[in-house]
Amino acid sequence: MKVCYSLKWNLLNLLIRIQFPSVTHISTEGLATWLEDKQQKSPLLLDARNPIEYAISHLRGAYLMPLNNKDILSCSLDTPIVTYCSVGYRSAILAQRLQKMGYKQVFNLEGSLFAWKQENRPIFCDEQIVSSIHHNNLFWALWLQ
């Protein structure tokens, strides 16, 4: 069963990379290391999910920026940005959009929040660690082990 789970994720990540060839991806391990490194400027974390999903859980310090949001970021074009969503598709769309706006250091979190959670990394609601990502249904259950 674990082989099937890994194969499914590898295929999804490949499809996202093919559909968004200009987007640079960062692994969950890479992001965790970056966030722990006090010598580096922390990236701006942008959650591309909808407000209901974000209200249930998100990465610590992340800002909500759903795809239908037309707000303009008020940060330097050199600001490092990491986008994420549930599995990495919506955040790849957001990352591509930000690149087209001129942002130079944009990364999409590969596997996004689901991969982060699968690796037992903390997710938050406000400042409280929580265990639920968002409302589960049959589709989303396929991506959790």
Superfamily name with CATH number, domain 2-141:
Rhodanese-like domain (3.40.250.10)
Residue-by-residue DSSP string for 33-67: HHHH-TTSPPPEEEE-S-HHHHHH-B-TT-EE--T
Question: If you average pLDDT over residues 33-52, what whole number do you get?
Answer: 95
pLDDT above 80: residue 122:
yes
Residue extents of the structural domains in the chain: 2-141
Sign of CA dihedral 36, 28, 81, 59: negative
pLDDT band at 141 (very low <50, low <70, confident <90, very high): low
d(CA 126, CA 110) in angstroms, rounded, equals 23
pTM score: 0.90
pLDDT above 70: residue 108:
yes
